[in-house]
Amino acid sequence: MGNRLTEQQICDIEDRFRSLHKILMNDFEALLNEVKENRKQEDTFKLAGSVEMPATNRAEQIHGFLMSELPSVLEIKDVQQFLRIGKVQAYELVNSGQFPVLKIGRKAKILREYFLSWLTQNQ
pLDDT band per the 50, 70, 90 thresholds, residue 60: low
pLDDT band per the 50, 70, 90 thresholds, residue 20: confident
Chain segment 40-57, per-residue pLDDT in tens: 766 655 555 444 444 344
pLDDT of residue 47: 52
Output the average pLDDT for the chain. Answer: 79
pLDDT band per the 50, 70, 90 thresholds, residue 65: low
Residue 122 has pLDDT above 50, yes or no: yes
pLDDT of residue 36: 79
- Please provide the DSSP assignment of the chain as one string: -TTPPPHHHHHHHHHHHHHHHHHHHHHHHHHHHHHHHHHHHHHHHHHTTPPPPPPSSTTTEETTEEGGGS-SEE-HHHHHHHHT--HHHHHHHHTTTSS--EEETTEEEEEHHHHHHHHHHT-
Task: Kindly report the pTM of this predicted structure.
Answer: 0.48
Residue 61 has pLDDT above 60, yes or no: no
